[in-house]
Amino acid sequence: MKKKTSTAPKYIVITGGVLSGLGKGIASASIGRLLSSHLKIVPIKCDGYLNTDPGTMNPVEHGEVFVLDDGGEVDMDFGHYERFIGTDCKFGWNLTMGKIFKSILEKERRGDYLGRTVQFIPHVTNEIKSWIKGIVEREEADLAIIEIGGTVGDLENQFYIEAVRQLRREVGPNDIVYVHLTYIPIPSGVNELKTKPTQMSVKALNQLGIEPDIIIARCAEYLTPKIKEKIALFCDVETEAVISGPDVKCVYEVPLAYELEGLVATLHKKLGIYSPPELKRWRELVETIKANIENPKQTVNIAICGKYTALEDSYASVVEALAHCGALLDAKVKVKWVDTDNMESTSISPAELLKDVDGVIVPGGFGARGIEGKIDIIRYCREKGVPFLGICYGMQLAVVEFARSVCGLSGANTAEVRDDGKEVADPVIDILPEQKTVTEKGATMRLGGHDVIIKKNTVAHKILNSDSVRRRFRHRFEVNPDYIERLEEKGIVFSGRASDKRIMQIMELPNHPYFVGCQFHPELTSKLETPDPFFLQMVKTALGSKKR
């Protein structure tokens, strides 16, 4: 992170209107990227749900759970923050109403409120403000970018909006800017940009006591000067503070679009700061991605095989890691989604599913549903020489498949299927010893950053070029130590282990074009400028196999 400057901290609050899914997380991350050259930035996400964190939520409902180095399970927008801004976020930076209410109730039980009646106003809003200002103070931040989850008008984010409204009085009008992300539709058959939804959204925000300083208007195209003037007039903002948020070919183009629209200069002026963007390498990589979308020099097809494919955001960081590889390798990486649960019900063969695929990823997951489909795919990749990367559960199931097919342990499986009442003759994957007494689900797995000791003269050591790396984990099960010797005798190489040598963290098959499994999640630390090495090598091998 950048060194703290001597000026008072600044705040940018980002709200959303008209409809959900406009990309407040991308907007927040893009603003952070544009201002990160000379400022120490802390991104804060305020979620309205009553869960303490998203760790127990179904990915198909909520999207990917992003795991931080400190072990926090947070909203997927933190993936955007880290990839764009280049900072390691912390669990405390993700506020949820579950956290806020829990803190208030604990204080009430301790008597911290001195017998007063505890109410939504001022106690909930004071807790939110205290939390935000506490983060800024502890991190010695120059700038806090606060994203308010949901859409203006949602009941569940009202206290956040009231809290940031009050924040202006406390920090001063020159140290806080309100940015409202909205939507400009072009109705079919009309072919004209319509500003009324934006006007109504801003009006709803005004009724809650906030007048936006900047409006970012999502639209299929850049706004015309006439439309900008109209929005400025009806929403009471300066014309130069109306910023186009056009549809782009890749999310990494968003900061470039904002810079073109003059957002940086407007923020500098309103906050009295100066932090010019450094985007030379970023721009080059974005141009490569765009060129490969329109007219690819080379294309590689990668299958992501999982059971949460109904919502692609379930594997958001995996998709982004592949995009990073494509940018660096000057290739178009096309993703094919394979629902492994559907495989089991339709009896479709891996050969049919993967006939046009150059590489396969089996990502993380939980439970028994869909695992036989994954195992069938893994077997196909091992036997046919298809480049394969298994992540977390994907690595564990690669060990199960090897134990069944190569070690002759037909009853091999993961002990995780016992939750469905199934017996396991050979639990080659078993629960971590410290997890056996755990009864609660939330935040109880082996989480966050851990060191991985890399064995010399292995594929992993060659790829990582290091004796140790730090990566992020999210698991309850491990390779059963009782089976490691037998697995190694038959050809598996465990090339990465925990620092205490107990947990197997990387497995590989040396006599294969590329067959690697990792217990950690490499996608969580991949960046546009520095793609994860395991993803990069897998895509490289897939490209090479395709050419051959």
Count other Cβ atoms within 10 Å, centred on residue 10: 25
Q: Catalytic residue among 180, 324, 475, 521, which?
A: 521
Q: Catalytic residue among 127, 320, 478, 523, which?
A: 523
How, if at all, do strands 214-219 and 176-183 pair? parallel
What token pair was written down for 469?
A: 């790396």
Q: Catalytic residue among 392, 401, 450, 512, which?
A: 392
Q: Which residue has the tokens 């709803």?
A: 204
**Sign of the C-alpha dihedral computed for residues 288, 294, 298 and 302 taken in this order:** positive
Q: What is the rounded CA–CA span in Å between residue 380 and residue 400?
A: 14
Answer yes or no: 521 catalytic.
yes
Answer yes or no: 80 catalytic.
no
**Measured torsion, CA atoms of residues 422, 426, 428, 433, in degrees rounded to the nearest 10:** 70
335-339's contacts with Cβ under 8 Å and 24+ in sequence apart are: 335/302, 335/303, 335/304, 336/301, 336/302, 336/303, 336/304, 337/303, 337/304, 337/309, 337/312, 338/303, 338/304, 338/305, 338/306, 338/309, 338/377, 339/306, 339/307, 339/309, 339/310, 339/370
What residue spans of 58-157 are helical by DSSP H? 59-62, 77-85, 97-110, 125-139
Across the beta sheet with 176-183, what order do the strands follow? 94-96, 41-47, 143-148, 10-16, 176-183, 214-219, 242-246
**CA neighbor of 317 nearest in space, from 96, 126, 83:** 83
Q: What is the rounded CA–CA span in Å between residue 546 and residue 548?
A: 5
Q: What is the rounded CA–CA span in Å between residue 433 and residue 478?
A: 9
Spatial CB neighbours of 182, under 8 Å, sequence gap ≥ 6: 16, 17, 18, 22, 197, 198, 201, 202, 215, 216, 217, 218
| DSSP 8-state code for residue 57 | S
What token pair was written down for 10?
A: 């600044």
Count other Cβ atoms within 10 Å, centred on residue 522: 24
Q: What is the rounded CA–CA span in Å between residue 421 and residue 344?
A: 19
Q: What is the rounded CA–CA span in Å between residue 67 and residue 90?
A: 10
Answer yes or no: 392 catalytic.
yes
52, 59, 78, 134 from 75: Cα distances, Å: 11, 11, 6, 20
Q: Which residue has the tokens 């141009």?
A: 287
228, 438, 500 from 435: Cα distances, Å: 57, 5, 17
| DSSP 8-state code for residue 509 | -
Q: Which residues are catalytic?
A: 392, 521, 523
